[in-house]
Amino acid sequence: MTANRPPEASPYPTEPPAAAPYQVGRARTVLRAVAMVSCLPYIGLKAAWIAGGRVGVPDGSPLLDGGAALRVANGVTVLMDAAVIVLALLLTRPWGRRVPAWLLVAPMWVASGLLLPIMTGFPIQLLVRLLGGGGDGRPVGEAASEPFLDPWVFGVVYGGFIVQGLALGALFALYAKERWGRLWQGRLRDLPESPTAPALRATAVAAALAALLPGIAHLLWAAGSTAGLNAGRAADRTSDFYVLEAVNLLFVVVTVVGVLLLAFRRTGRLPLRLPLVLVWAGSAETACWGGWLSMAALMGAGEAADQPTAAMTVTYAGQMLAGALVATLGAYFFAERAAAASVLPATAGGPEPDPAAASAPAASAVPAASTASAVSAPSSGSRVS
């Protein structure tokens, strides 16, 4: 009779090892806190206005006559800006890695489109005024004859928007690199031929043609022409107006250059991420800011002088169309890259393919609710918001 011996340990693990706990570095923790805190000035002002307060609103401002409609609009914009807090948490919490790609990418794309013109234009407006450019203390063509908000409000709110954009953009860049970084590695010349390449090139050409009219209009307006502007906008131009038009023109050019580089790949030595960044920023600004300007023109069209002209309407519609086409092209590009990456083994030492990569930033072509908004409804084509 043999002595009882303990069973030998199996050489194979009986259960998978526990996954390493998700850790957020110090940098992301700081960026998350900065993004959240930067929302407070805007949300606080809006909450005060909803409650009937007049902080920052001078006598004679049209905001005093807004009534229930303005309160509803202020409530909506509070929710829009509060979405920045949700995004900051999503980008830095473990559950954020399980969120479908489209649910993250779409609001980030819209946020980029609404924040980029502020982040670009407002500092330039301040610089031009410091150099004696003739601004009146209210950004982007706010006329002195129409007391809208106290000048300090724009600095506080737009300063908060700029901080939001920087912090949220940094968080998204870190998140996207970890989750989808394989999709934009390499150079343009390394991209394989795709059966959809002719369709993508046709879309790129269509987007460039759609951007032609907005580009010409913004060029003329930045150069001082009043062609196509309504009477109110033409009379209220300041240095801030010209800065905004130059910024709009810049992003139209960025959109066209980015989409043509990505579709035709003539300069193969360029890193792939460069045209992708141009496509992201350009399509977001042209589509979302064009949509905002269209809505603002309609909301601020109480008097005949403020009615948007046909040229303004077509210009903003052209921006939206061009941006939407470019975003659609980018979505299909990422969908193809994600599908190819999902069937290839991970590179040595690299992360395993993310199951969510199949839904990589492809679904972002359809804009969602924005995470940044205006101080209030601007006059057509004028106020950075």
What's residue 296's pLDDT? Answer: 75
Q: What is the pTM of this model?
A: 0.80
pLDDT, tens only, 53-85:
889 888 888 788 777 878 888 898 899 899 999
Query: Are the C-beta atoms of residues 270 and 188 closer than 8 Å to each other?
Result: yes
Q: Does the pLDDT of residue 382 top 80, yes or no?
A: no
pLDDT-based confidence at 109, cuts 50/70/90?
A: very high
φ/ψ (deg, to 5) at 127:
-65, -45
Mean pLDDT of 318-343: 90
Query: Are the C-beta atoms of residues 218 and 285 closer than 8 Å to each other?
Result: no
**Which of 127, 119, 128 shows the shortest CA–CA distance to 160?**
119
Mean pLDDT of 228-239: 87
Query: Are the C-beta atoms of residues 372 and 164 closer than 8 Å to each other?
Result: yes
Higher model confidence: residue 301 or residue 100? 100
Q: Does the pLDDT of residue 297 top 50, yes or no?
A: yes
pLDDT, tens only, 152-195:
999 999 999 999 999 999 999 999 999 999 888 889 888 888 88
Highest mean pLDDT: which of 93-107, 136-150, 204-218, 230-244?
204-218
Mean pLDDT of 127-142: 65
The alpha carbon of residue 165 and the mean position of all alpha carbons in its chain are separated, in whole angstroms, by: 9
What's residue 302's pLDDT? Answer: 54
